[in-house]
Amino acid sequence: MKRILAWLGVVVVVLAAAGFVAFLYFIPPFTLVKPEEFSRPMGTAGPDLTKISDPTERMLAERGHYLVTLGSCSDCHSTPGPQGPRIGDMYLAGGFKATRKGHGTYVSSNLTSDQATGIGSWTDEDLKRVLRSGQSPDGTSVPGHLMPWPAYSHLTDEDLHAIVVYLRRTAPIVHAIPKATEASFTDPTAYEEDYAGVDYAAPPK
Ligand code: HEC
């Protein structure tokens, strides 16, 4: 009788351990969803480029899509929703809000091809200038620590062109974005960031 009980105990412990391991194995996302799967929708979002008949244009647009994904443009420039950027229905339509101490609040712009609220009426040069130097056509500048144009300024002319070609292919989404508020941009070259309330770029007292 004792032996049977002992064996029963062993069986119960083994089953419990196996059950626990199975539980760990099946709780998403660790095993069911691979890390790269999480970000997959970002890379596959956007217009269907296979419909472009001109092979050069298609190649450029595909390159542009690749660069927009890697440049994380779609992260910041897609309208935020409760589950992150709404890449399904508001891909690149803008509306992400960022506040920087000493600079004000900025809202990412609409990069879709819409004429009135997107970049539809911008010239190629206007777009390239923003990516090279953060200078907008209206004379304002985009803070480099908000949008990483200092990194983008290293793009080759060909890559800049590819990004422009791609952005022109995006579906137009009507989404008006307010311009930066209270942008007290005293020194556009200063790198100011709110590091736990300490402004390292502020002049010494
Ligand atoms: C970390 C966030 C972030 C990333 C990444 C980012 N942007 Fe921006 N971008 C912004 C914000 C915020 C603004 C609005 C700044 C303002 O109002 O002056 C902006 C503005 C712009 C503007 C418009 C400037 C204007 O005057 O209206 C363009 C064009 C632009 N971004 C293109 C891009 C492209 C293309 C990429 C990817 C290569 C990109 N951005 C990546 C945050 C970002």
Residue 121 maps to a domain? yes
Chunked mean pLDDT (size 10), the chain, 205 residues: 91 95 75 72 90 97 97 92 88 85 78 96 97 91 86 97 98 87 46 43 51
Structural domains in the chain (count) = 2
| Per-residue pLDDT, 159 | 98
User: What is the bridge-based pairing of β-strands 104-107 and 80-81?
Assistant: unpaired
Check residue 32 and give its pLDDT. Answer: 66
Residue 190 domain flag: no
152 and 71 together in one domain: yes
This prediction has a pTM of 0.79
What number does the ligand 1 atom closest to the CA of 72 have? Answer: 5
**Residue ID of nearest Cα to ligand 1 atom 29:** 127
Question: According to the model, what pLDDT value does residue 115 have?
Answer: 97
Full residue range of the structural domain in which residue 93 is found: 45-168
Task: Check if 97 has its Cβ closer than 6 Å to any atom of ligand 1.
Answer: no
Most ligand 1 atoms within 8 A of CB, residue of 77, 129, 130, 168 to mutate: 77
Tell me, yes or no, whether 201 lies in a domain. Answer: no
Q: Are residues 49 and 29 in the same domain?
A: no
Q: Does 87 map to a domain?
A: yes
Crossing angle of helices 157-168 and 124-133, rounded to 10°: 130
Kindly state whether residues 19 and 99 are assigned to the same domain: no
- CA dist 136 and 113 (Å) reads 17
**Nearest CA owner, ligand 1 atom 43:** 147
